[in-house]
Amino acid sequence: MVQILPAGVPVLGVPLPHEFGGGAKQPRSCAQLVAAGLVAPADDPWCFFDLPRHAGERGIATWLGSHGVEVRSVGVDSRPTPDAVIDAAGVTVEFKTIDPDVADPASAVYQRIRQARKQSPLVVVDVRGTAATRTDVNRAMVAALRRGGRDLHEVAVVGDGFVVSWP
């Protein structure tokens, strides 16, 4: 499998995606979202990030763009949807943010990864502006991936001055 998300410090002690076997979760594919008319048009790729519930996603999209990964936002309907699609790869990606005032950043990262796996096998969690350390993030990722890694292909957590990624 080709890595799509920008690489960071790798998480150690977790099997690779192909070592987990098949997962139970089957989020909608990029093609299904396009067919449903939920993907933003090419001339306004971030239009759904302008909605109030997507305020934090614009920052993640900007970060991905600065690393050469261009995304288009995805609208919502009655079913869980990912936040964006990566056209060049034909895949979906889910964005999660952490509240800057969160008391336990590791627990918050763990929860966000567990939530995100139901929406896309590619996940980016933004912990910038929080007290999260690389150690917190690594610990949370190991726990989340051991319990739900079979549903994921890639995870990247972006912090202040660091990125931790899997695989």
Cis peptide before 41 (omega within 30 of 0): no
Correct CATH for 26-166 of 3.40.605.10, 3.40.50.10240, 3.40.1350.120, 3.40.50.300: 3.40.1350.120
Pair type for strands 9-10 and 72-73: unpaired
Q: What is the pLDDT of residues 109-163, one digit of tens each?
A: 999 999 999 999 999 999 999 999 999 999 999 999 988 888 899 999 999 999 9
Q: Give residue for tokens 């139901």.
A: 118
Q: What is the pLDDT of residues 16-61, one digit of tens each?
A: 665 655 565 678 899 999 999 999 999 999 999 887 766 789 999 9
The domain spans of the chain are 26-166
Q: Where do runs of H (alpha helix) occur along 67-133? A: 105-116
Q: Per the structure block, which two tokens stand in for 85?
A: 């699609």
